[in-house]
């Protein structure tokens, strides 16, 4: 079952003396975080914080938070993981949350063979790389249009057409 509240970044420091925090985004870009005004400090959505200002700034996002008005207040949040509510997000076609892909069963589009499960995802810049594990062995598969045939995160199934040599190294 998909988690409702999704980790989306970490407060890594303060900015200025008026309570602004620096957030390391765990998304494709800081612009994604700038779309939200409501965040949570726990994975149950019980500790809500509201942003009054969000600005991407290099590889971090600068946020002003309601009720955080001094550097001392902001310092207390250092190290906190922030979450968003899945219900506040509409992802474009072909985009997925990493935690929804982890655990999906991967099969071959042509043979139907089960190739393993996605156990990790590396973000390389050019494209993500899916770590698919089968029988204790890990295979690295580029997450590109030529490879991915279909993704069903609700059914936890992914169908791919693997590039030659990735899975047939056992022959």
pLDDT tens for residues 4-35?
Answer: 999 999 999 999 888 999 999 988 778 888 88
Is residue 113 included in any domain, yes or no?
yes
Cα–Cα distance measured from residue 117 to residue 57, given in angstroms and rounded to the nearest whole number: 36
Cross-strand pairs, 55: 62
Terminal CA-to-CA distance of the chain, rounded, Å? 37
pLDDT confidence of residue 171: 45
Cα–Cα distance measured from residue 68 to residue 79, given in angstroms and rounded to the nearest whole number: 15
Domain that holds residue 11: 5-88
Mean pLDDT across the chain? 91
Is residue 67 included in any domain, yes or no?
yes
Is residue 32 included in any domain, yes or no?
yes
Same domain, 67 and 103: no
Residue where a domain stops, chosen among 48, 64, 88: 88
| 79 and 13 Cβ atoms separated by less than 8 Å | no
Look up the pTM and report it.
Answer: 0.77
pLDDT tens for residues 155-171?
Answer: 999 999 998 888 875 54
pLDDT band of 116, cuts 50, 70, 90 = very high
Here the CATH number for the domain that contains residue 106 is 2.30.30.240
Cα–Cα distance measured from residue 89 to residue 58, given in angstroms and rounded to the nearest whole number: 23
Same domain, 140 and 114: yes
Distances (CA, A) of 21 to 18, 53, 54, 64, 79: 9, 10, 10, 7, 11
How many domains, in total, are found in the chain? Answer: 2
């Amino acid at each position: 079952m998909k988690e409702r509240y999704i980790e989306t970044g970490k407060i890594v420091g303060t900015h200025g003396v008026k309570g602004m925090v620096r957030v390391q985004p765990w998304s494709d870009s800081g612009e994604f975080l700038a779309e939200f005004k409501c965040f949570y400090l726990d994975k149950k959505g019980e500790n809500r914080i509201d942003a009054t200002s969000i600005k991407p700034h290099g590889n971090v996002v600068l946020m002003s938070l309601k009720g955080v008005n001094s550097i001392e207040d902001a310092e207390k949040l250092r190290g906190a993981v922030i979450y968003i509510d899945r219900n506040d997000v509409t992802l474009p076609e072909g985009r997925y949350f990493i935690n929804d892909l982890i655990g999906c069963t991967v099969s071959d589009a042509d043979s139907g063979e089960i190739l393993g499960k996605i156990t990790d995802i590396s973000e390389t810049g050019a494209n993500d790389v899916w770590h698919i594990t089968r029988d204790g062995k890990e295979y690295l598969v580029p997450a590109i249009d030529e490879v991915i045939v279909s993704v069903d995160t609700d059914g936890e199934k992914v169908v791919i057409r693997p590039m030659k040599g990735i899975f047939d190294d056992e022959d």
